[in-house]
Structure 1
Amino acid sequence: MTKELGTDTGTGGQTAGVHGPDVAEPQTDRLRYLDAATRQIARGMNLDETLHELCRAAVPAFADTAFVHLYAPLPVGDETAAAPGVLELHATDHAPLRRASTCRSAPPSPTAGPVRAADVVHPAATGLLAKLLRAGRPVFADTPDIAAAVSELLAADAAPPAVPPGRRLIIAPLHGRTQVMGSVVLIREPGRPDFTGDDLLVASQLATHTALGVDKAVLYAREASVADALQRTMLPPSLPEPAGVLLASRYLPSSRTSQVGGDWYDAIPLPGSRVALVIGDVMGHSMTSAAIMGQLRTIVQTLAGLDLPPDEVLHHLDEQAERLGSEHTATCLYAMYDPVLHRLLVSNAGHLPPVLLHPDGGTEVVHVPPGAPIGVGGGGFESTEMHAPSGATLLLYTDGLVESRDSDVLAGVERLCVRLRAAASGATPPELELLCDQALGTLGAGDRDDDVALLAARFQGILPETVAYWYLAPRPQTARQARRLTRRTLHDWDLDSLVESTELLVSEVVANAVRFASRPIVLRLLRTDVLRCEVEDDSPLVPRMRHARPSDEGGRGLFLVDHLARHWGATRVSTGKIVWFEQPLPSDRDSG
């Protein structure tokens, strides 16, 4: 990227509080200028700011015009790879030099356009320009060969200046810690004294501090990019699409950090078409916080697979967090939505309360008894059950959404409720993605002190007439009874074309459950966008496919399930296990 930077103008030899030296001034004035100029350059926090501060310090106090060219791409860190076949040269010597900024003491022309891609120089690796940059010392363009090299550098400029005669131009390489970053060219117009030998020392200091600032900015940007990538890879790449609920999410990293935070969210499908909704925040902003977040998220996913109640999930999560041996604590809210019963079960470990947007546009802050944060070891988590009406939307969020330097959390939550009510004030409920954008407000483009994670769930529910379930005694006759119930239900649902295959699959799964169950088994059929069958029993033994020998009388049931069903699986739960399979509805079969 290239950028044209404007400068403060003036002829009095000072700009932005920096006093310019004159050849007749005492050496102390020169040192005073350097002290102010280097401190000004050091104020830059990124690449643009660093180059801007260089221009403000150098023009017009020290020179009338300054050109800065940087290698593209810039070398990062301690990269010292050599160019192929040229062992003594760094790979960056073959990279193009791109004009990054130009500043002049006169105001820029109002018709001057942006810096074009043509402002790129490809110096020969063995040419004089590359040698001057590798040498690392500022020089005057007072010899024909150096003047020609500088002309090569400036030739691609939109309005290339002629190299002035005498000692009116200094080219100073920008040397970072280990690499050449580019160059700065300083020019004095007629009417000012020529540069002196002492001015080479001044140019050297300006270039050195600029190069260190550029090096710092590049490393900072790279660390921020790596940190952001690390954070995002620990978040779910996509949300599931469970029956009976719509999901949407947002994540915004802190705008003022190169360190990742510990905010995370997750949506985990559970047996019985239920879904777990999770939001959490590890205290602090560091790679350690992100690592702890990744471990806690993995633990939550494992515990969710056991189908434990929310309070037990947080209890075990707290125990595991203590074993991690970290001083970091975390907050977490775990909610379990059942679309069949239209119920929500929520437990809280020190996290902010969720907000429920009702179908009529009203908002409710869901107050769940807050337990101690994860890692503190206080325990005492409780599960709160509540009604989840169809059309309502639950928003889980981290404190970055509602807390700022200017207001507290309570005021932020109230502002969030106001934004949600405004979004839902229309005749029709807003799309869930649009609602998430409205919930964020202006955070997308503003200055954020903290990360923001947001998970929204719109409850749709599953109609009672699309669910059928039975408790069956574990007897040899149960498989035949399950086939009869399945046949009758599918006929009522106008799914006669699925009767034969579903009867066979139900018979195999129920017969396997009867072999190991000691208590009544549960058979459940759900008709959503697919036909789903679930068989639950109290045995923790999960069936596995195995290759049956020709002499074996059994062992082929799961191969049959695997062949006839679109998807199938087995999940351990706190009361035993659930074996399930899914089949496409007739319209899906026809279209597929």
Structure 2
Amino acid sequence: RRVIVAPLRGRRRVVGAVLLLRRADRPPFTEDDLLVASQLATHTALGVDKAVLYGREAYIADALQRAMLPSSLPRSTGVRLASRYLPAAETARVGGDWYDAIPLPGNRVALVVGDVMGHSMTSAAIMGQLRTTVQTLAGLDLPPEEVLHHLDEQAQRLGSDHIATCVYGVYDPVSHRLVMANAGHPPPVFLHPDGRAETLRLPPGAPIGVGGVPFESVEVPAPPGATLLLYTDGLVESRTRDVWSGVERLRERLRTAAETTRPPQLEPLCDCVLDMLGPEDRDDDIALLAARFDGIPPRDVAYWFLEPQAQTPGRARRLVRRVLQRWELDSLSESTELLVSEVVTNAVRYATRPITLRLLRTEVLRCEVGDDAPTLPRMRHAAAGDEGGRGLFMVNRLARRWGATRLSTGKVVWFEQTLPAKRPDPS
């Protein structure tokens, strides 16, 4: 007996074998050696089996988490976006970090970063549910503090042991304002156009899932050229550094980056931020969302309040015609006036308060008509004898895109038209 082969039997299958050899100048194996080899193989098999299962769970959780993150960020007028997601150095430590950017009516965009506490498939699954909830709440155009309030309620319904942190903000490129609310999350860092890096001291709020704690929104000026950085705690906290030391380190990193290029490019800026991490700083997942605020110049915006009266559609057409002449878009005047007349007429029919009419000139010509009636318009087939019911068919036919969004104050119906190609300069 100079060879022992002991199979490594896992819970469901054989995962390998142990081969023990004894040289010719040594005594042969005994029955006791066989018993020791059997026990060694049993314990080894259980360890290997657990490692395989643990690695498989980590792989599935990581794949689940990445699948729930946005595959790409939206292209929104007046703001540029960049993001990074970096898993923890220990592959089994899959967490619930997420980020998102959600287009809103009026060329606004919602920016959100969150972190479900814990590292497991459950954390990744809860993250997916909370991210979906945020998208739904953002679509209702609720203020940031109300979004966090309803998100907190949803987390409590999922179970009292599911705690998360989150920061949620809405950027308006027309007013150049940023409204934000925080639920126990590390503070955003704001890079001013002049290169100053500032930690935004938002009211911290309680983490999502605690319940019974109100949230508070703060309005921050966001001038063109400013940059906002949202991140999870894995970027600033580690076993060797507390959160606030990490935040200060991040702020200094951004300030240094702005000294070289002002304002710094977003993609290199994200890489620069991650480059400050060492091997000892990779204890947790990292989600990073950077936003560069360009805004929409006032010269490209026209805004009116109109009373819901019978003569309002005619007045709206005249106002639009004058603006398009000023913008040298006379070729769009006829179609735009027709579309505005149809949408405003529908708003006058149901509104009880002044109607809003806004024109935006960006990559497209966008028109928005708002009223206080919450019912969204729907295309319907008009009978041959009907006098109305064809307006939305006309909008659908003539507009490049159109839609309607329900707001907390009513709704907004919008349409877009393609801008005419610029004529080449004769010189």
Q: TM-score, normalised by structure 2?
A: 0.91
Cα deviations across residues 363-396 of structure 1 (Å, max 9, x unaligned)? 1001112223223234332221121121111011
* Partner in structure 1 of residue 297 of structure 2: 463
Change (3 A) 1:368 1:303: same
Matched ranges for 1:109-188 at <5 A: 168-188=2-22
Q: Is 2:353 the counterpart of 1:527? A: no
* Partner in structure 2 of residue 398 of structure 1: 232
Cα deviations across residues 387-407 of structure 1 (Å, max 9, x unaligned)? 112111101112111111112
Name which one, 1 or 2, has greater alpha-carbon Rg. Answer: 1
Pick the aligned partner of 2:175 from 341, 354, 359.
341
Superposition deviation, residue 490 in structure 1: 1.9
Matched ranges for 1:431-446 at <5 A: 431-443=265-277
Superposition deviation, residue 198 in structure 1: 4.7
* Partner in structure 2 of residue 239 of structure 1: 73
Contact 1:318 1:379 in 2 (8 A): no
* Partner in structure 1 of residue 114 of structure 2: 280
User: What is the distance in 2 between the residues matched to 1:168 and 1:531?
Assistant: 86
* Partner in structure 2 of residue 410 of structure 1: 244
Contact 1:252 1:444 in 2 (8 A): no
Q: Which amino acid in the other structure matches residue 181 of structure 1? A: V
> Which ranges in structure 1 are unaligned for 5 or more consecutive residues?
1-166
Q: Is 2:87 the counterpart of 1:253? A: yes
Residues 238-247 or 261-270, more deviating: 261-270
* Partner in structure 2 of residue 373 of structure 1: 207
Superposition deviation, residue 519 in structure 1: 1.2
User: What is the distance in 2 between the residues matched to 1:405 and 1:177?
Assistant: 36
Pick the aligned partner of 1:304 from 132, 138, 141.
138
Contact 1:303 1:313 in 2 (8 A): yes
Superposition deviation, residue 412 in structure 1: 0.6
Contact 2:173 2:296 in 1 (8 A): yes
Pick the aligned partner of 1:364 from 198, 202, 207.
198
Change (3 A) 1:444 1:510: farther
Contact 2:3 2:22 in 1 (8 A): yes
**Cα RMSD over matched residues?**
2.5
User: What is the distance in 2 between the residues matched to 1:174 and 1:555?
Assistant: 75
Which secondary structure does the structure 1 equivalent of 2:370 belong to?
A: strand
Superposition deviation, residue 259 in structure 1: 5.5
Contact 2:239 2:281 in 1 (8 A): no
User: What is the distance in 1 between the residues matched to 2:117 and 2:316?
Assistant: 51
* Partner in structure 2 of residue 104 of structure 1: none
Q: Is 2:271 the counterpart of 1:426? A: no
Cα deviations across residues 13-61 of structure 1 (Å, max 9, x unaligned)? xxxxxxxxxxxxxxxxxxxxxxxxxxxxxxxxxxxxxxxxxxxxxxxxx
Q: Which amino acid in the other structure matches residue 456 of structure 1? A: A
User: What is the distance in 2 between the residues matched to 1:548 and 1:264?
Assistant: 46
Contact 1:310 1:336 in 2 (8 A): yes
User: What is the distance in 2 between the residues matched to 1:429 and 1:178?
Assistant: 58
Cα deviations across residues 301-357 of structure 1 (Å, max 9, x unaligned)? 222222222222223333443444423332222211111111111122222211001
Q: Which amino acid in the other structure matches residue 334 of structure 1? A: Y
Contact 2:58 2:120 in 1 (8 A): no
Which secondary structure does the structure 2 equivalent of 1:289 belong to?
A: helix
Superposition deviation, residue 217 in structure 1: 1.8
Q: TM-score, normalised by structure 1?
A: 0.67
Contact 1:472 1:523 in 2 (8 A): yes
Contact 2:405 2:412 in 1 (8 A): yes
Which secondary structure does the structure 1 equivalent of 2:248 belong to?
A: helix
Superposition deviation, residue 232 in structure 1: 2.0
* Partner in structure 2 of residue 517 of structure 1: 351
Matched ranges for 1:192-231 at <5 A: 192-193=26-27, 195=29, 198-231=32-65
Pick the aligned partner of 1:317 from 133, 151, 154.
151
Q: Which amino acid in the other structure matches residue 236 of structure 1? A: P
Which secondary structure does the structure 2 equivalent of 1:371 belong to?
A: coil
User: What is the distance in 1 between the residues matched to 2:45 and 2:163?
Assistant: 40
Q: Which amino acid in the other structure matches residue 282 of structure 1? A: V
Pick the aligned partner of 2:375 from 541, 553, 556.
541
* Partner in structure 2 of residue 271 of structure 1: 105
Contact 2:65 2:125 in 1 (8 A): no
Q: Which amino acid in the other structure matches residue 558 of structure 1? A: L
Contact 1:419 1:441 in 2 (8 A): no
* Partner in structure 2 of residue 382 of structure 1: 216
User: What is the distance in 2 between the residues matched to 1:531 and 1:419?
Assistant: 39
Residues 508-517 or 209-218, more deviating: 209-218
User: What is the distance in 1 between the residues matched to 2:278 and 2:403?
Assistant: 40
Change (3 A) 1:558 1:414: same
User: What is the distance in 2 between the residues matched to 1:176 and 1:564?
Assistant: 67
Superposition deviation, residue 234 in structure 1: 2.5
* Partner in structure 2 of residue 48 of structure 1: none
Contact 1:521 1:535 in 2 (8 A): yes
Contact 1:311 1:382 in 2 (8 A): yes
* Partner in structure 2 of residue 99 of structure 1: none
Pick the aligned partner of 1:581 from 379, 396, 415.
415
Contact 2:93 2:284 in 1 (8 A): no
Matched ranges for 1:38-77 at <5 A: none
The number of residue pairs the alignment matches comes to 424
* Partner in structure 1 of residue 160 of structure 2: 326
User: What is the distance in 1 between the residues matched to 2:47 and 2:295?
Assistant: 57
* Partner in structure 2 of residue 100 of structure 1: none
Q: Which amino acid in the other structure matches residue 400 of structure 1? A: G
Superposition deviation, residue 467 in structure 1: 0.9
Identity %: 73
Contact 2:239 2:280 in 1 (8 A): no
Change (3 A) 1:535 1:337: same
Superposition deviation, residue 426 in structure 1: 0.9
Pick the aligned partner of 1:496 from 319, 330, 338.
330
> Which ranges in structure 2 are unaligned for 5 or more consecutive residues?
423-427
User: What is the distance in 1 between the residues matched to 2:48 and 2:417?
Assistant: 59
